[in-house]
Amino acid sequence: MKITKFVLTSALVLTASSCSQNKEPVATSTKEVCFDGGSVTLGSTEHYPEEQPLRSVKVAPFCLDAYEVSVSRYERFVQATGYKTVAETGPNPSDYPGQPPEYFQPGSAVFVFPARSSLGRWSFKPLANWRDPQGTSTSLIDAEDHPVTHIAFEDAQRYASWLDRRLPTEAEWEFAAKHGGNVVDLSIDERTGKRNVSANIWDGEFPIFNTKLDGYAGTSPIGSYVPDVNGVYDLLGNVWEWTADTYDKKGASTIEKHVIKGGSHLCASNFCARFRPEARQPQEHGLGTSHIGFRTARDKHQ
């Protein structure tokens, strides 16, 4: 599917305001954007089947992190609590009856970028976790302002609870994304050869070649691109984001799945063109991977 530009069609009734401002570095910023709530039409009839049918819902006032949670912010949580993520401990067998033993080993799924004469691919790496996103014993020295990855659903929930916050619902996330006018413009400026970059996606043909027109093949530091009209960064692209919603059960799998939103740096126009507010995907709640992160939310009147 070739997509040049996505158009937002949903009705929106709300106002937004920045609830807290501080002078912290972006990597540790707790800035949030608050919304008064209102009506929104979720979904789209123009793209993937799972985005249908259109659903009109009302969203109560809420506040949303302006940034994806960074490695630095997650590190503070771990230092304060001693928490170990699912990727570090392995899933709890009692949560997954019937799964084979290899399912419970520590580690996570890493996308291995294509080398010459090869395709990119997913690989389970026993050492991969939020501290070591590539699973190669590399340090985090240059990655602390990147979004935290290899975060299972429970890991995201525990972080949010530590801050007396929660994960956004799918409706809240999509409400914020649509109201913010979030759109990925894929058109290329013929004079400069660059696109009008507003998000970190896969430029080029996935999984063969990444032109890195947005500057990054993998994750980018949070807040690297212009924010949306409400001051929220990276809703589309960079990393997929967990929501609180359970994905509708379909098929034979008994593993619980949750909705993730926004697409990632691995989404290209020729594959997984899900860098749109309406796009949604199921994700096993016990598996983070190298392109899934999150941001937190709260009820506005707390």
Instruction: State the number of CA atoms in the 13 A half-sphere of 106 facing the CB.
Output: 10
Of 177, 172, 170, give the one whose Cα is nearest residue 61: 172
Q: How far apart are CA 45 and CA 37, in angstroms?
A: 24
Cβ closer to Ca ion: 74 or 88? 74
Binding mask 265-284 for Ca ion (x = CB under 5 A): x-------------------
Interface residue with Ca ion, options 70, 238, 269, 281 (CB under 5 A)? 238
Contact in structure between 288 and 152 (CB atoms under 8 Å): yes
Q: How many of the chain's residues bind Ca ion (CB under 5 A)?
A: 7
Return the number of the residue (10 or 238) whose C-beta is nearest Ca ion.
238
Using the rule CB under 5 A, is 216 a contact of Ca ion? yes
- Interface with Ca ion by CB under 5 A: which range of 154-162, 167-175, 226-234, 276-284? 226-234
262 binds Ca ion (CB under 5 A): yes
**How far apart are CB 76 and Ca ion at their closest, in Å?**
20
Q: How far apart are CA 238 and CA 258, in angstroms?
A: 19
**Residue 32 binding Ca ion, by CB under 5 A:** no
Residue with the closest Cβ to Ca ion? 262
User: Is residue 174 involved in binding Ca ion (CB under 5 A)?
Assistant: no
User: What is the number of other CB atoms lying within 10 angstroms of the CB of residue 83?
Assistant: 15
Bridge partner list, 147: 70
226 by Cβ neighbours in 10 Å (0-12 / 13-18 / 19+) ranks as exposed
State yes or no: residue 214 binds Ca ion (CB under 5 A): yes
Among 234, 266, 292, 296, binds Ca ion (CB under 5 A): 234
Q: Let me know: does 262 contact 201? Beta carbons within 8 Å.
A: no
Q: Does 180 bind Ca ion (CB under 5 A)?
A: no
CB of 247 to Ca ion, least distance (A): 18
Shortest Cβ distance from residue 259 to Ca ion (Å)?
14
* Pattern 183-202, Ca ion, x by CB under 5 A: -----------------x--
- Give the CA distances from residue 221 to residues 31, 83, 84, 162, 280, in Å, rounded to whole numbers and listed in that order: 16, 24, 23, 24, 23
155 sits near Ca ion (criterion: CB under 5 A): no
C-beta closer to Ca ion: residue 91 or 297: 297
Tell me the HSE value of 98 on the side-chain side, using a 13 A CA sphere. 4
Torsion over CA of 282, 284, 287 and 289, rounded to 10 degrees?
A: -20
Q: Applying CB under 5 A, which residues contact Ca ion?
A: 200, 214, 216, 234, 238, 262, 265
